[in-house]
Amino acid sequence: MTRFAAPIAEQIWDMKYRLKEADGTPRDLSVEDSWRRVARSLAEVETDAAAWEEKFYHALEDFKFLPAGRILAGAGTGRTVTLFNCFVMGTIPDSMAGIFDMLKEAALTMQQGGGIGYDFSTIRPRGADVTGVAADASGPLSFMDVWDAMCRTIMSAGSRRGAMMATMRCDHPDIEQFIEAKQDSARLRMFNLSVLVTDAFMDAVKADGPWELKFGEKVYHTVGARDLWNRIMRATYDYAEPGVIFIDRINEMNNLAYCETISATNPCGEQPLPPYGACLLGSINLARLVTDPFGAGAKLDEAALSELVATAVRMMDNVVDASRFPLEQQAQEAQAKRRIGLGVTGLADALLMIGQRYGSEQAAATCEAWLKAIARAAYLASADLAREKGAFPLFDAEKYLASGALVHMDEDVRAAIAEHGIRNALLTSIAPTGTISLYAGNVSSGIEPVFAYAYTRKVLQKDGSRTEEEVVDYAVKLYRDRFGVEAELPEYFVNAQTLAPLDHVRMQAAAQKWVDSSISKTINCPEDISFEAFKDVYMEAYETGCKGCTTYRPNDVTGSVLSVSETSEAAPEQDEGAEVVYLSEPLDRPQQLEGNTYKLKWPDSGHAIYVTINDIVIGGHRRPFEIFINSKNMEHFAWTVALTRMISAVFRRGGDVSFVVEELKAVFDPRGGAWMKGKYIPSILAAIGGVIETHLVEIGFIAGEGMGLKTDPSAELAVMGEKPHGKACPSCGSYDMRMIEGCMTCASCGYSKCG
């Protein structure tokens, strides 16, 4: 009897969270093994480890508590990885040496799998004097380009590519260039961008007053505040970036305002953090806590919720001690404040189960009540932990209880904190849960509405055939199970495509009242929303107490929202051509394969390197299946074997594997490269990347050097009269990308830009 509610849930577990040997042999034979591994690891710091292991296991069982992916994948593995999701780097000094010290720290953090946020407001603007060198400064955006290149080069731990957030204050002299930076589609691809908006700026916008752009004491320009606001709004209306962070509100409401100042967030915005700040994440699955769903007595079991929250807080507090950290400063910061980010997922499904329409005033009130119950339980549990294990080291009772978030807390909670202290300085946050929501049976993500009630995904099987799987929302599946497959869904079943933008804002504002950090949420806007109505969304978010705002309006630049059918009817078969395909399992190797061998003579290496690439034919088209790299130079042995295994594993998983070329060609050797056939090649690995690229061109997999697939699947759709479904997933190539909680997320394979 499987614990998984849907095939995609088991596939997500197998791909992302299941512990395996280096050769792919599973060590977690079942999901119960994964739960046991995590529970045992997080209980190791307890005095009675065996008893707490059972309690932790029970919390994980049946997907009730969902630790973030890095905990699920990394806890108990013995691997040198961080279990923390979010990092904000140290303050970037306004000096060349300091900037590149920060770049090094960022690379080390990203290498271990952390998402990173930076505030680039501390770098002097373009054209400013550089003392002592008779030159003008190049400005923060030029250094952001350097960070972007670094991120593209480094593959972070667990096959997750690094995600980054860059912020800039609304009064920085280069803010206008920052706002428009990503209108060049090739620039800053690894960054999310957000403007730090102050209360003074919003007051100036409302008054249509002047706004000074300054650095230090020098005013560089004066602009109209409303004009600058309109530029921010126009950019996000057309390009979905930058986002907006209400930074004064974040600092005002911060429990730790007495000992830290925040100027940056993690990549998805739900964790405002100080320099070297780190936070781990986890979510309570509200969809699993509703009793009698869709029945007369449907309600959230608040007693079970409180008990689960208390266990989750203890588990997450233990992660602070169990995790490794890329930098010592991050470890010290985490230990000093013991910040955690406990959130929710499945909220929209839970509302459906009790018969409430997401976005209504009733649902907003219910959301606020549920989040308050979680906050109460979390703070009481943390106070109890402080009584047992001690408060966080920087705790100051008088200052802490006077902070913005605590003055509204219930008196019994404040009394418990005054008596015992509190173990964790901040406790709640609502993070992106796209992948773990799929893993939990396709429950609705975070506090988002249901994106689609059902859709179909195609999976390529080992024999080359394709099967279709229906992916059904968790609440819809329960409704079908209770009332029959043909039962019509009630009117209160609304989704992200039909919901009014201000209904989104209402739900975000309701949740924010009892979340001490912030919320990652996307406000979906229709393509035809007017610019004035679009601006109203941001103003409403500010006026109703939100700490930030992220919208997504589908258009020709951002891509169309995934087309879905509530009846889940499959689209007609199309000529696949060179379509990117995702393999649910690696293909078995046929007895014979066609291939080519290439000789690569690297100057000064002493021996030639031979690269053999063999192909498999699928749907009449050749695609790479395996690679062998051989050299008589024994200094090359270890890394050539590693490349052979890793690249072959990538080839056998399918998808647009041409990214392998991009990654290898970006590698540079600090000892210097070589000139080959009139071109400078930065490293021997880059030369191997060039050989692979040559082969992909020869077999027609890509059209030419530096180009992607020979046939653009979106062009085929256009020829057939269908509207392209936006951008293809970079992992599996499907057109199932959707903007959820500020992250482009693939419904077919679970890939997320933000990890």
- Give the pTM: 0.80
- Counting Cβ atoms within 10 Å, is residue 545 exposed (0-12), middle (13-18) or buried (19+)? middle
Contact 232, 179 (CB under 8 A): yes
Three-state SS sequence of 622-648: EEEEEEEEEECCHHHHHHHHHHHHHHH
380 has pLDDT over 90: yes
Q: For residue 13, what is the DSSP state?
A: I
564 has pLDDT over 90: no
Helices and strands, number each (H, E), in the chain: 24, 28
Bigger pLDDT: 378 vs 732: 378
- Assigned domain for 675 exists: yes
**How far is it, in rounded angstroms, from Cα 583 to Cα 577?**
17
Contact 422, 317 (CB under 8 A): no
Of 85, 254, 266, 318, which is the active-site residue? Answer: 266
- What residues pair up with 523 in beta bridges, in sequence order? 551
- Give the residue from 191, 213, 246 where a domain finishes: 246
Beta-strand ranges (E) seen in 2-90 are 65-67, 86-88
- Assigned domain for 95 exists: yes
User: 290-323 pLDDT, tens per residue?
Assistant: 999 999 999 999 999 999 999 999 999 999 999 9
- Assigned domain for 648 exists: yes
| Domains identified in the chain, total number | 2
**How far is it, in rounded angstroms, from Cα 75 to Cα 97?**
36
722 has pLDDT over 70: no
User: 452-483 pLDDT, tens per residue?
Assistant: 898 887 665 555 566 778 889 999 999 999 99
Confidence of residue 753 (pLDDT cuts 50, 70, 90): low
Range of the domain at 134: 91-246
Backbone angles phi, psi at 342, to 5 degrees: -85, 125
Contact 746, 733 (CB under 8 A): no
User: Which residue from 476, 505, 493 is spatially nearest to 355, judged by alpha carbons?
Assistant: 493
- Assigned domain for 49 exists: no
Establish whether 630 is a catalytic residue.
no
- Assigned domain for 127 exists: yes
- Give the residue from 189, 213, 246 where a domain finishes: 246
- Assigned domain for 167 exists: yes
- Assigned domain for 489 exists: no
- 593 in helix, strand or coil? coil
- Assigned domain for 723 exists: no
Establish whether 260 is a catalytic residue.
no
- Give the residue from 246, 275, 302 where a domain finishes: 246
Of 86, 268, 749, 754, which is the active-site residue? Answer: 268
Of 105, 241, 270, 579, which is the active-site residue? Answer: 270
User: Which residue from 704, 744, 705 is spatially nearest to 728, judged by alpha carbons?
Assistant: 744
Helix, strand, coil shares of the chain, percent, nearest 5, are 40, 20, 40
Establish whether 266 is a catalytic residue.
yes
567 has pLDDT over 80: no
